[in-house]
């Protein structure tokens, strides 16, 4: 299986899973939360497991998509956001018609021109 032949939905799916892992990792590393979980005895190598899952996932992601994601994730908790009614739900800017028609372009991740987040369509 080559990442180069991934469909757009495969790409989006992997970016989603990466985002989930990153959010979980951030939460797991939060000192407040860490202490709570330690007290409840839930913390058994959580960070190690998340990190291992993350590196397995990275091997399936197109390097270009990964660089794009990482650039956005530095600035935003959610690097990938839904579009509804032609509006980016990351920044609430209406997308230009050109971006909406680009949607038909095959196998490319689309980003919001205003906030730069990766877009996906809900419907
Ligand atoms: Zn936006």
Q: Angle at Cα 105 formed by Cα 73 and Cα 103, nearest 5°?
A: 65
% pLDDT > 90, the chain: 54
Ligand 1 centroid – CA 74 distance (Å): 15
Q: How far is the CA of 108 from the centre of ligand 1 (A)?
A: 17
Q: How far is the CA of 116 from the centre of ligand 1 (A)?
A: 6
CATH numeric code, 3-121:
1.10.287.1490
More confident: 3 or 113? 113
The pTM of this model reads 0.80
Domain ranges of the chain: 3-121
pLDDT (tens digit per residue) in 71-91 = 999 999 899 999 998 999 999
Q: How confident is the model at residue 100 (pLDDT cuts 50, 70, 90)?
A: low
User: Residues with Cβ < 8 Å from 116, sequence gap 6 or more?
Assistant: 71, 72, 75
24: closest CA among 48, 60, 40?
A: 48
């Amino acid at each position: 299986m080559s990442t180069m032949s991934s469909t757009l939905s495969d790409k989006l799916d992997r970016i989603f899973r990466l985002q989930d892992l990153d959010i979980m990792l951030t939460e797991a590393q939060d000192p407040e939360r860490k202490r709570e979980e330690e007290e409840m005895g839930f913390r058994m190598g959580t960070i190690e497991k998340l990190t291992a899952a993350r590196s397995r996932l990275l091997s399936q992601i197109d390097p270009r998509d990964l660089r794009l994601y990482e650039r956005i994730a530095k600035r935003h908790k959610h690097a990938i956001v839904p579009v509804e009614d032609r509006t980016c739900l990351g920044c609430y800017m209406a997308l230009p018609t050109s971006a909406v028609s680009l949607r038909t372009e095959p196998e490319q991740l689309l980003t919001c021109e205003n906030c730069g987040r990766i877009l996906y369509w809900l419907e």
